[in-house]
A = this chain, B = another copy of it.
Amino acid sequence: MDIVEFTPETEQLTWTFGGAAPIRRVKPGSVMRLWTEDAFCGRLRSTADLASASLNMPFVNPQTGPFYVEGAEPGDTLVLHFVDLTPARTWGASATIPFFGGLTSTDRTATLQDPLPERTWIYEVDTDKQTVGFQAQGSDLEIALPIETMLGTVGVAPAAGEVRSSLVPDTFGGNMDTPEMKAGATCFLRVNVDGALFSVGDGHYRQGEGESCGTAVEGSMNVVLIVELLKTPGPAWPRIVNDDYLAVVGSSRPLEDAWRAGQVDMVGWLGELYGLDKLDAYQLLSQISEVPLANVVDANYSVVTKVPKRLLPGAKVYSDIHQHLRDLAATLS
């Protein structure tokens, strides 16, 4: 088994999906030990560091990658199994940013109102308790919240020669900001260019569904993943399999279109897995789907459609590669 270790230098960070030269070539089956910078480039380190003064737009949400996967060709299925996501710093940060986020007007949902005030929160990591500490700034309230690490951004180079900012989620994955992208999850992405050119980044020590203010508990992350490749047709939208669920992530605007895209893909998936016609799959989905929001703050919004395995008959999903990778991951530590 190949082991690839990579920690980018600052000047090696990338800011787009597509448009960057591969930083490493990796073989399918490789285990990768990566380090990701946080979405603020590590620049918010105290409550005095406000976003508009500290960040250098558009250089936010840096990615580690892209990686060229040997043998990957357009139409294939790239498989990324997340073995471990561990905070790489002793603190995370969150912030309000002018005209960015879900409960403020933005450059698109534009209004004439003044922006919300800027504020930065620093969350200290308590490694023993596995918590991060929320500290109110307008009062004394402090709450220790469980660490639940995830990656906000996982994606490949887009189709049609496009290059997209790492702030955008779409069919190529990208900034989906879903808590489902956690250790133990296996992500499936359609390959659009030779080598797939995948990147990861935007570690969150925890995040609510919807990522309301536009930023989670953002933190640098140590990432262990296994990369695999299936020479079978890749999905229209990113899919995630974990021990309990099958999931699809749709991303678009308005929010109902993000939902529709993911739901229609899931209807097709259920149809394939269980030999259901379109109407039966639609009916079954209607009674079993769980639909947590991922984000309502990015350039596209993201919605997860997931179905619980416990309600469904056993099925061979992508050649059982999720279980295979779980087993392999168990041998690593």
> Which positions in A face B, CB cutoff 8 Å?
15-16, 18-19, 58, 94, 96, 102-105, 107-117, 119, 121, 134, 136-139, 141, 143, 145-146, 159-165, 206-217, 236, 252-257, 259-261, 263-264, 267, 274-280, 282-293, 296, 301, 303, 305, 311-313
Contact = CB atoms under 8 A, between A and B. Distances in A.
B291 A210 contact: yes
Contact of A293 (B274, B280, B303): B303
B19 A288 contact: no
Nearest to A104: B111
A283 B163 contact: no
Label chain A's interface by main secondary structure: loop
A287 B134 contact: yes
Given A19-B163, A283-B213, A255 B261 contact: no
B212 A289 contact: yes
A276 B135 CA distance: 11
A36 B139 CA distance: 47
A311 B148 CA distance: 13
B208 A288 contact: yes
Given A112-B267, A208-B290, A253-B257, 15 more contacts: A104-B111, A107-B236, A108-B261, A136-B284, A137-B280, A141-B313, A162-B165, A208-B285, A210-B289, A212-B285, A213-B286, A253-B256, A254-B254, A254-B256, A256-B301
A206 B287 contact: yes
Given A282-B212, A289-B208, A256 B296 contact: yes
A278 B217 CA distance: 18
